[in-house]
Chain A
Amino acid sequence: ETGVTQTPRHLVMGMTNKKSLKCEQHLGHNAMYWYKQSAKKPLELMFVYSLEERVENNSVPSRFSPECPNSSHLFLHLHTLQPEDSALYLCASSQNGRHPNEKLFFGSGTQLSVL
């Protein structure tokens, strides 16, 4: 148990659906992240929140919409996705996101399939 919990573990959705991924961290961290993991590709950073404020948005399509209501919870709202968006979506947290030696704590991910 890493202290970062993601739900659901698996999600299948059609291209016209709207769904949300949820992440909760119990570590008292101030920074939370969404990563996309596709086969044979590096982990892609999507969004970073520090103290509930978005500090990074790596040119992610608008069909992905993050929300961070407090420092313990992070959501990723999905709508009108494409089949190429199928991937493992990982949530992570760290102390504050700015220290060079900071350790990332990952959840187990949501395996998303878009049909």
Chain B
Amino acid sequence: QQQVKQSPQSLIVQKGGISIINCAYENTAFDYFPWYQQFPGKGPALLIAIRPDVSEKKEGRFTISFNKSAKQFSLHIMDSQPGDSATYFCAANGQGAQKLVFGQGTRLTINP
């Protein structure tokens, strides 16, 4: 019940396309859903996050869509750029950063 399942494991998108990464959870106590971005040789960094009281949050080209009834959330990257090539992790928690649960990660490659 503590798991967050992320798909796909890897994704290749052409420059200018839309990248979509999906996550699903079981624990209804989760109430904070961040996405972290990790470039090679670096640690993950917070990209965008959402609370379940909204269905969508947008920051520039990055959008989180949240479906509370389905217990699913997804990251959309519009107009994907080669600089977006990285590994993306979804996560969830309900009790603070000490209890953050991560998905398996998606390696995204944007082809020029």
CB closest chain-B residue, reference A50: B98
Q: Which residue of B lies closest to A97 (CB)?
A: B98
| Tally of A-B Cβ pairs under 8 angstroms | 68
Question: Given that A41-B104, A42-B105 are contacting pairs, would A108 and B43 also be in contact in the complex, using a CB cutoff of 8 Å?
Answer: yes
Cβ-based interface call for A84 (8 A): no
30 A-B pairs within 8 Å (CB atoms) are namely A2-B45, A31-B97, A31-B98, A40-B104, A42-B4, A42-B102, A42-B103, A42-B104, A42-B105, A43-B44, A50-B98, A90-B43, A90-B44, A92-B43, A94-B97, A97-B96, A97-B98, A98-B95, A98-B96, A99-B97, A100-B32, A101-B51, A102-B96, A103-B97, A104-B100, A105-B45, A106-B43, A107-B43, A108-B41, A109-B42
Minimum C-beta distance from A107 to chain B (A): 5
Say yes or no for A48: interface residue by CB 8 A criterion.
Answer: yes
> Which residues in A have their C-beta under 8 angstroms from that of B89?
42-43
Given A40-B104, A41-B104 in contact, is the A97-B44 Cβ separation under 8 Å? no
Interface residues on B, range: 20 to 34
Please measure, in the bound complex, the distance between the C-alpha atom of A108 and the C-alpha atom of B41, giving whole angstroms: 6
Q: Which of B73-89 contact A (CB under 8 A)?
A: 89
Alpha-carbon distance A90/B42, docked complex (angstroms):
10
What class of interface size applies to chain A in its complex with B? Answer: 20 to 34
Q: Which residues of B contact A (CB under 8 A)?
A: 4, 9, 31-32, 34, 36, 41-46, 49, 51, 89, 93-98, 100-105
Residues of A within 8 A of B (CB): 2, 4, 31, 33, 40-43, 45, 48, 50, 55-56, 90, 92, 94, 97-109
